[in-house]
Amino acid sequence: MARPDARMRAAVGDYLPLVWRILRRAGLGAADADDAAQDVFWVLARRVDDVPERAQRSFLVSTALRVAADHRLSKWQRAVSSGLDADLRPSEAPLPDEALDQQRAVAFLDDALAALDPADRAVFVLTDLEQMTRSEVAESLGIPEGTVASRLRRAREAVEAAILRMRARTRFTR
């Protein structure tokens, strides 16, 4: 078995992008996702000896979802407005019209995800955005695969309805 500090370094290297994306898609802004990711890995650090290496991904996914829920509910999170991604360097920034399209797409996805029931959102994010299998999602969330399938169906229907509403709005505003 690897030493705890080596396991932590490996876990951060292997799973930080996944954890950050899950936090971001669970409703946190970019800066808040950075802070929450630290919280997720802090939880793992405290329990690294109790979490088998083969279960580390599932542990981090479920922990990320709980941490995101805690951050969203906190008084501080509600009081702070998320906004600009100031860390974008001009050389990497898209052209203004591309940036606007990207911002609109991200805002739309965030709105569509925010409208979902948290349980449905978690399943949708893990399967459709993170490309996890239904069995991996079931293991990560501690629910049966059939429940994953039904929540995924509901979430996809809700997102599809949101897309149709958005298309209808843009048709009338042009």
pLDDT tens sequence across 97-151: 777 878 887 888 888 888 899 999 999 999 998 889 999 999 999 999 999 999 9
pLDDT tens sequence across 77-106: 455 554 445 554 455 667 777 778 788 878
Q: Which residues of the chain are in CATH 1.10.1740 domains?
A: 1-81
Give residue 94's identity as a one-letter amino acid code.
Answer: P
Q: Is the pLDDT of residue 45 over 90?
A: yes
Q: What is the pLDDT of residue 80?
A: 54
Q: Is the pLDDT of residue 16 over 80?
A: yes
Separation CA 144–CA 121 (nearest Å): 16
List the Cα angle 97/98/100 in 5-degree steps. 65
Q: What is the pLDDT of residue 2?
A: 66
CA 29, distance to chain mean position in Å, is 10
Q: Which residues of the chain are in CATH 1.10.10.10 domains?
A: 94-174
CA 22, distance to chain mean position in Å, is 2
Sign for the pseudo-dihedral over CA of 5, 8, 14, 16: negative
Percent of residues, the chain, with pLDDT higher than 90: 50
**pTM higher than the cut 0.85:** no
Does the structural domain 1-81 have CATH classification 1.10.3470?
no
Categorize the per-residue pLDDT at 37 as very low, low, confident or very high, splitting at 50, 70 and 90: very high
Q: Is 68 exposed, middle or buried (0-12, 13-18, 19+ CB in 10 A)?
A: buried
Q: What is the pLDDT of residue 147?
A: 96
Q: What is the DSSP string of 54-121?
A: GGHHHHHHHHHHHHHHHHHHSHHHHHSPP---TT--GGGSPPHHHHHHHHHHHHHHHHHHHTS-HHHH
Return the HEC string of 123-165. HHHHHHHCCCCHHHHHHHHCCCHHHHHHHHHHHHHHHHHHHHH
Percent of residues, the chain, with pLDDT higher than 70: 84
94-174 in CATH: which number?
1.10.10.10
